[in-house]
């Protein structure tokens, strides 16, 4: 462990870096021992069964209706449990899984190109830069094939070949074709499949749907998760919902950066509230920066739009060799004055290097002053993604058939025609690998609180491979959670809980108080202005490249900003009506706490790994340098109290099957 | 550019609403329409007026949450969603009216926000294929001819935004429903429930208070995903067949 | 409901085509026209009594008319009920005159039908100058020698043409016969052809009479 004496100005003596404490390591993740290909079967067999007649008496609350939440709600409903499903949107079909474009991986080996469950497992562990658990990843690869079967049966219209069989493509730098897709709308089609299955259960009466509801607190009674406090976003009513188990499938926290490819409403509140009640938050600093997004156009920007990285299959990425050419029309820059930097630095992978590398190199060339497009602040933040060669090679129709909707989207947003002018792209925050810590059963450190999909930390390590998020969401929702939660529920029915129970009343009162607090501050600054400022801090100091100095500074800045927020935020309107400012205030308040933990996590992890690059840890030629001897563990953070410091619990990662190697794509 | 906005303000579901005029200045043509409203809301907030409520989530044209009637056109002058509409589609000095979707099956909740729960209930009535988790056969056991798969995909592109209802002079939800009928009806997996699906969905649609289709075509013109009128024809055909078979 | 609309509409399309065929008989002379009128009444006799088929057909038409008008009214009131708060601004993307005019055009046609039946079927009043008692052919000629009668008819035919133009295509859509782009084009073409043929076909006799090409004797 590298420790330094550097501390932020607001440090506390006795703590590491003055900001966190170290606690007991986590020794057991409940994964069964034995051959890796038998572990999931073993676990399924050993998980207790629940008699069908008893299932009706057992209730589960599921927060979030994306792939992980929607699929779980549908599946548990089909099994006969009483399910209550919550989403903040007006319909479960809006969850942000819908925006995933590229595809979903599955080890079907339909192309007979050497793929297998083991290879998908291997690629995912390697792609995650050896910071994920072997047992979990193997299970993910194993159930991936069931997902495709299930989705096809539901009527998901995957792309097909003329023979009527499913088509596959290679995706995100993987050398086998294992990605199933539905043009550029795979996430949408998978989500609609899960949504329809969910609505079918709503009609059947097994699932009760609460849309336009936001979970604001988890109810923990006698150490077990027993319900949630939610706000009806239409009437403003604070509601108590109790159950035998709670599942959080509330997605990732990329919006801590303000600008991200997440939806406007995506937030960390559900998981953060659970964290404050005792659930450990694992690897919060692991965020993924996606290389092919449409660059920021100006200060007004509210979100960033991703374009599928499948564009890198046929597009070539370059910037001018000379900074002087950056303002020129790209079509007038001769071939010899262009720097196809990915092809130059990584001749064997070229434009198909993994996301983290493509992103970081784009940042590097822009930082050198060779970025293109409009200046935002002092920099031009953009590189060219050029389809000129592809158009020469393939015909415009073939390009349109493959990428039409993406290119149209680009044109709609930027007003430029990508068939004529090279597109401009820049990295943007896209996915968060970190999330609530869960064991092999997807259970958090609060018994009865399960976490699925992007909301947990479990399967992607420090970097997620393309087309794996959809796979994990559906694997958790359809095939993993229903088995593991069964084992927990089999111990029920649990003691009947009244709304008048002390813990319930207290949880509810705290939510009420918080809502009233926001409305009573009556300060000068809008919620959005705080959110933007936080986003800038995070992007600057906890984005693609981090340094100790920057992170310490960020921690101070965030603490100052949070303090100001609670003194000076301005939330108009009332509590008993639809109030979007009030909704945002709650989300930003939680981001302001999460942001600090992310910086602390990034600070303690003094290695370059996966999606993030640590300035103090690089090779001689500037490539990322991991330190497996020191950091091959999951960092699970325990809430240290409002005024306390977070406590780090390390879960060592043991690699029995895949040998840890320094990644090289040269 | 500078614009005059006339926006529907309504405090709550039962409150009486009215059009309120707001001038906005210094709008960049690179802003999206909703970012323009964000700017206005920041100004209102600074002045101590409650910001205008409107729905949006993904802001990349796929979730279907946003939807405004912009100068009489659902999602505005371009064939896209409101969130993907950019200010370069307007000119300096324009007067723009902004209203919520108007249909009794989509009651207004506040300002520009409406309740589209009726769409969910139509799906509940039959917009699915009953395939419990784990019961699925191997994906390649049922080949689907590419033209059918492509047509199913075309129809499945519907994002459930409700623009079809908003644009329809009859406030009919037939394009939304036809898209789902066509999506599932083209696939072999969708056949067993095909008759019941169309009958139950149409019955729910009528029960929700949507108007009937008189084949005007406004829906398809307003659809950001360009779902063609075919799907209504398909719905009618399936319905006729189902009724004849005594469903 | 919409199928009732389409089905009854289809019956009318068939009927107006037959009716038009009958009208064109006037070009063959008053006698041929009268013979045709008489033939309609003796069709299927002795299986049916005198004018039996005609009455059967009339009953069917009246039923269809009631169904058509009722379903139109039903759809219209449902559409009104589906949007009780109107838009302040509403711009049509492509709703053309024909589809918007279906309702008002239909009402106009209904009014015209009353006039038309009073004139030639029920009362058989004669606004012209020829002696036409008991002679349908002469009654027709006598009537259309009056310019304003012709004008009323021409206006009605424009309404009929537009109604058919949208109605035929709309019915194919409602009955689910326009499943792809080609079928939809065919349906639209069919609508245009039927609309043109009927309106022109019906317009010919009155115009010919007005301009003296067909005379009473």
Q: Give pLDDT tens digits along chain B (247 positions).
A: 999 999 999 999 999 999 999 999 999 999 999 999 999 999 999 999 999 999 999 999 999 999 999 999 999 999 999 999 999 999 999 999 999 999 999 999 999 999 999 999 999 999 999 999 999 999 999 999 999 999 999 999 999 999 999 999 999 999 999 999 999 999 999 999 999 999 999 999 999 999 999 888 999 999 999 999 999 999 999 999 999 998 7
Phi-psi category of residue C103: left, alpha or beta, with phi > 0 → left and psi -120 to 50 → alpha: alpha
Residue A665 in contact with residue A357, Cβ under 8 Å? yes
Domain check: are B28 and B123 in the same one? no
- Which residues from chain B sit within 8 angstroms of residue C87, using beta carbons? 69, 72, 99, 102
Span A500-632: which CATH code?
1.20.58.100
Domain check: are B124 and B77 in the same one? no
Residue numbers of A annotated as active site: 355
- Candidates B104, B234, B236; nearest CB to C82: B104
Sign of the Cα pseudo-torsion (C23, C25, C31, C37, in order)? negative
Q: Indicate which of C90, C104, C182 best probes the interface with B, i.e. most B CBs within 10 Å of its own CB.
A: C90
Tell me if the domain spanning A290-429 has CATH number 3.50.40.10.
Answer: no
Residue A221 in contact with residue A501, Cβ under 8 Å? yes
- Which residues from chain A sit within 8 angstroms of residue B53, using beta carbons? 578, 580
| d(CA B109, nearest CA chain A) in Å | 7
| d(CA C177, nearest CA chain B) in Å | 7
Domain boundary among B46, B77, B104: B104
- Residue B152 falls within a domain, yes or no? yes
pLDDT at A352: 87
- Residue B85 falls within a domain, yes or no? yes
Q: Give the ipTM of the model, two decimals please.
A: 0.98
- Residue B193 falls within a domain, yes or no? yes
- Residue B170 falls within a domain, yes or no? yes
Residue A274 in contact with residue A248, Cβ under 8 Å? yes
- Which residues from chain B sit within 8 angstroms of residue C3, using beta carbons? 236, 240
- Residue B75 falls within a domain, yes or no? yes
| Cross-chain Cβ contact C79/B172 below 8 Å | yes
pLDDT average per 10 residues of sequence, chain C (217 residues): 84 90 88 87 81 87 91 89 90 62 84 89 80 82 89 91 87 83 85 91 90 76
- Candidates A99, A413, A482; nearest CB to B58: A99
| d(CA A40, nearest CA chain B) in Å | 16
B128 Cβ under 8 Å from any chain A Cβ: yes
pLDDT at A5: 47
- How would DSSP label each residue in chain B? --EEEEEEE-SSSSSPPEEEEEEE----TTSBHHHHHHHHHHHHHHHTPPPPP---SS-SS-S-----EETTEET-SSSS-GGG-BGGGS-TT-EEEEE---BTTB-EEETTEE--HHHHHHHHTT-S----TT-PPPGGGS---HHHHHHHHHHHT-----HHHHH-TT-B-HHHHHHHHHHHHTSGGGSTTHHHHHHHHHHHHHHTTPBPP-S--HHHHH-TT---THHHHHHHHHHHHHHHTT-
- In chain A, whose CA is at the least distance from the CA of B81? A412
Interface of B with C (CB under 8 A): 6, 8, 19, 69, 71-73, 97, 99, 102-105, 108, 167, 169-172, 209-218, 221-222, 228-230, 232-241
pLDDT at C90: 81
Domain check: are B217 and B150 in the same one? yes
Between CA A309 and CA A465 the distance in angstroms is: 11
Between CA A78 and CA A537 the distance in angstroms is: 45
| Cross-chain Cβ contact B123/A199 below 8 Å | yes
| Cross-chain Cβ contact C175/B169 below 8 Å | no
pLDDT beneath 50, residues of chain A: 1-5
Q: Which chains pack against B, by 3+ Cβ pairs within 8 A?
A: A, C
Domain check: are B153 and B233 in the same one? yes
- Residue B111 falls within a domain, yes or no? no
| d(CA B132, nearest CA chain C) in Å | 32
Residue B34, domain CATH: 3.10.20.30
| d(CA C174, nearest CA chain B) in Å | 6
For chain B, the domain total comes to 2
- Residue B109 falls within a domain, yes or no? no
Residue indicated by tokens 């301009």: C211
pLDDT at A1: 41
- Candidates B51, B136, B142; nearest CB to A581: B51
Domain boundary among B104, B136, B170: B104
Mention every residue, 6+ apart, whose C-beta is less than 8 A from residue A105.
A120, A144, A171, A174, A178, A179, A180, A465, A467, A468, A471
pLDDT at A3: 43
Nearest-CA neighbor of A93 among B194, B117, B201?
Answer: B117
Domain check: are B78 and B143 in the same one? no
Q: Indicate which of C81, C88, C165 best probes the interface with B, i.e. most B CBs within 10 Å of its own CB.
A: C88
- Residue B110 falls within a domain, yes or no? no
Domain check: are B134 and B224 in the same one? yes
- In chain C, whose CA is at the least distance from the CA of B105? C82
DSSP three-state, residue A439 = coil
pLDDT at A48: 96
| Cross-chain Cβ contact A415/B88 below 8 Å | yes
Nearest-CA neighbor of A426 among A479, A491, A469, A373?
Answer: A373
- Candidates B50, B58, B127; nearest CB to A199: B127
Mention every residue, 6+ apart, whose C-beta is less than 8 A from residue A391.
A399, A419
Between CA B71 and CA A213 the distance in angstroms is: 31
pLDDT at A101: 86
Nearest-CA neighbor of A561 among A540, A590, A587, A592?
Answer: A592
pLDDT at A469: 95
Domain check: are B183 and B204 in the same one? yes
pLDDT at C45: 77
In chain C, the domains with their CATH numbers are 2-82+94-210 (1.20.1300.10)
- For the stretch C121-177, pLDDT in tens is 887 788 887 877 778 888 888 888 888 999 999 999 988 988 888 888 888 888 888
pLDDT at C216: 63
pLDDT at A258: 97
| Cross-chain Cβ contact A90/B32 below 8 Å | no
User: Which residue range is the domain that position B37 belongs to?
Assistant: 3-104
Domain check: are B140 and B66 in the same one? no
B196 Cβ under 8 Å from any chain A Cβ: no
- Going through A41-162 in order, the beta strands assigned E by DSSP cover 59-63, 82-86, 104-105
| Cross-chain Cβ contact C88/B8 below 8 Å | yes
pLDDT at A2: 43
Domain check: are B155 and B80 in the same one? no
- Which residues from chain C sit within 8 angstroms of residue B237, using beta carbons? 175-177, 179
Domain boundary among B71, B104, B137: B104
């Amino acid at each position: 462990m590298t420790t330094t004496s550097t501390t932020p100005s607001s440090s506390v003596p006795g703590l590491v870096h003055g900001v966190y404490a170290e606690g007991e390591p986590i020794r057991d993740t409940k994964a069964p021992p034995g051959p890796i290909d038998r572990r999931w079967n073993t676990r399924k067999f050993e998980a207790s069964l629940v008699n069908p007649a008893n299932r009706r008496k057992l209730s589960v609350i599921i927060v979030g209706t994306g792939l992980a939440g929607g699929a779980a709600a549908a599946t548990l409903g089909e099994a006969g449990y009483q399910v209550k499903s919550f989403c903040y949107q007006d319909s479960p079909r809006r969850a942000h899984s819908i925006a995933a474009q590229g595809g979903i991986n599955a080890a079907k080996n339909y192309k007979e190109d050497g793929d297998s469950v083991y290879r998908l497992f291997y690629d995912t562990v390697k792609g995650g830069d050896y910071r994920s658990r072997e047992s979990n990843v193997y299970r993910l690869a194993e159930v991936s094939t069931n997902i495709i079967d299930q989705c096809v049966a539901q009527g998901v219209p995957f792309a097909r070949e003329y023979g009527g069989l499913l088509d596959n493509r290679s995706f995100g730098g993987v050398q086998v074709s294992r990605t199933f897709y539905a043009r550029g709308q795979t996430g949408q089609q998978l989500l609609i499949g899960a949504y329809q299955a969910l609505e079918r259960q709503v009609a059947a009466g097994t699932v009760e749907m609460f849309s336009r509801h936001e979970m604001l607190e988890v109810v923990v009674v006698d150490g077990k998760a027993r319900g949630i406090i939610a706000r009806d976003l239409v009437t403003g009513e604070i509601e108590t919902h109790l159950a035998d188990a709670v599942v959080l499938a509330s997605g990732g926290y990329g919006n801590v950066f303000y600008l991200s490819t997440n939806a406007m409403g995506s937030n960390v509140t559900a998981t953060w509230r659970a964290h404050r009640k005792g659930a450990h938050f694992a690897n919060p600093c692991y965020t993924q920066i996606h290389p092919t997004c449409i660059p920021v156009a100006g200060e007004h920007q509210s979100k960033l739009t991703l374009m599928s990285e499948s564009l890198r299959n046929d597009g070539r990425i370059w910037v001018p060799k000379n900074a002087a050419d950056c303002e020129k029309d790209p079509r007038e820059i001769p071939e010899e004055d262009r720097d196809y930097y990915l092809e130059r630095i990584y001749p064997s992978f070229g434009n198909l290097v993994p996301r983290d590398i493509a992103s970081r190199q784009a940042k590097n060339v822009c930082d050198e002053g060779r970025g293109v497009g409009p200046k935002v602040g002092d920099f031009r933040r953009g590189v060219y993604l050029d389809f000129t060669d592809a158009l020469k090679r393939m015909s415009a129709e073939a390009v349109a058939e493959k990428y039409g909707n993406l290119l149209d989207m680009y044109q709609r947003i930027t007003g430029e025609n990508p068939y004529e002018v090279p597109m401009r792209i820049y990295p943007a925050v896209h996915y968060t690998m970190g999330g609530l810590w869960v064991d092999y059963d997807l259970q958090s450190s609060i018994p009865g609180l399960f976490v699925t999909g992007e909301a947990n930390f479990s399967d992607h390590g420090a970097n997620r491979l393309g087309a794996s998020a959809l796979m994990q969401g559906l694997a958790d929702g359809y095939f993993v959670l229903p088995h593991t939660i069964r084992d927990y529920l089999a111990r029920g029915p649990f003691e009947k809980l009244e709304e008048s129970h002390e813990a319930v009343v207290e949880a509810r009162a705290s939510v009420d108080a918080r809502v009233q607090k926001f409305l009573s501050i009556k300060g000068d600054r809008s919620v959005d202005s705080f959110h933007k400022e936080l986003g800038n801090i995070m992007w600057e100091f906890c984005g693609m490249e981090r340094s100790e100095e920057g992170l310490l500074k960020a921690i101070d800045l965030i603490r100052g900003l949070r303090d100001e927020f609670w003194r000076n935020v301005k939330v108009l309107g009332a509590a008993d009506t639809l109030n979007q400012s009030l909704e945002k205030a709650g989300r930003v308040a939680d981001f302001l706490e999460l942001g600090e933990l992310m910086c602390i996590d990034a600070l303690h992890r003094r290695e370059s790994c996966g999606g993030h690059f640590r300035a103090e840890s690089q090779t001689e030629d500037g490539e990322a340098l991991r330190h497996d001897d020191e950091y091959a563990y999951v960092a699970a953070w325990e809430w240290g109290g409002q005024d306390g410091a977070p406590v780090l619990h390390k879960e060592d990662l043991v690699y029995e099957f895949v040998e840890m190697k320094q990644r090289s794509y040269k | 550019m500078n614009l005059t906005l006339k926006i529907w303000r309504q405090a709550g579901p039962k409150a009486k609403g009215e059009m309120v005029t707001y001038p906005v200045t210094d709008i960049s043509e690179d802003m999206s329409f909703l970012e323009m409203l964000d700017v206005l809301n920041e100004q209102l907030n600074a002045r101590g007026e409650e910001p205008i409520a409107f729905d949006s989530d993904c802001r990349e044209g796929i979730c279907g949450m946003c939807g405004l009637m912009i100068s009489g056109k659902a999602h505005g002058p371009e064939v896209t969603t409101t969130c993907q509409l950019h200010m370069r589609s307007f000119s300096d000095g324009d007067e723009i009216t902004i209203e919520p979707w108007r249909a009794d099956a989509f009651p207004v909740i506040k300002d520009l926000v409406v309740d589209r729960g009726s769409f969910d209930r139509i799906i509940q009535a039959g917009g699915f294929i009953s395939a419990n988790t784990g019961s699925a056969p191997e994906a390649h056991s049922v080949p689907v001819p590419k033209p059918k798969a492509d047509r199913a995909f075309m129809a499945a592109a519907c994002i459930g935004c409700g623009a079809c209802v908003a644009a329809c002079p009859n406030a009919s939800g037939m394009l939304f429903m036809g898209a789902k009928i066509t999506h599932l009806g083209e696939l072999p997996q969708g056949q067993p429930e095909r008759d019941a699906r169309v009958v139950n969905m149409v019955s729910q649609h009528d029960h929700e208070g949507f108007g009937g289709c008189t084949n005007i075509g406004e829906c398809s013109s307003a659809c950001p995903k360009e779902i063609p009128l075919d799907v209504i024809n398909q719905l009618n055909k399936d319905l006729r067949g189902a009724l004849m078979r005594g469903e | 409901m919409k199928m009732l609309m389409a089905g009854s509409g289809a019956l009318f399309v068939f009927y107006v085509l037959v009716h038009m065929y009958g009208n064109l008989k006037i070009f063959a002379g008053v006698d041929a026209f009268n013979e045709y009128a008489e033939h309609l009444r003796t069709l299927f006799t002795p299986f049916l009594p005198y004018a039996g088929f005609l009455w059967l057909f009339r009953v069917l038409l009246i039923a269809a008319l009631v169904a058509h008008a009722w379903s139109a009214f039903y759809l219209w009131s449902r559409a009104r009920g589906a949007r009780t708060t109107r838009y302040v601004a509403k711009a049509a993307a492509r709703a053309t005159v024909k589809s918007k005019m279906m309702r008002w055009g239909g009402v106009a046609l209904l009014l015209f039908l009353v006039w038309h039946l009073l004139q030639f079927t029920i009362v058989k009043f004669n606004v012209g100058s020829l002696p036409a008692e008991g002679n349908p052919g002469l009654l027709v000629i006598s009537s259309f020698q009056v310019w304003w009668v012709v004008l009323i008819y021409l206006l009605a035919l424009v309404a009929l043409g537009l109604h058919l133009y949208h109605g035929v295509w709309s019915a194919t859509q409602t009955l689910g016969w326009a499943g792809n782009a080609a079928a939809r084009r065919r349906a639209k073409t069919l609508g245009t052809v039927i609309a043109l043929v009927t309106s022109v076909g019906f317009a010919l006799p009155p115009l010919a009479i007005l301009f003296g090409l067909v005379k009473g004797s």
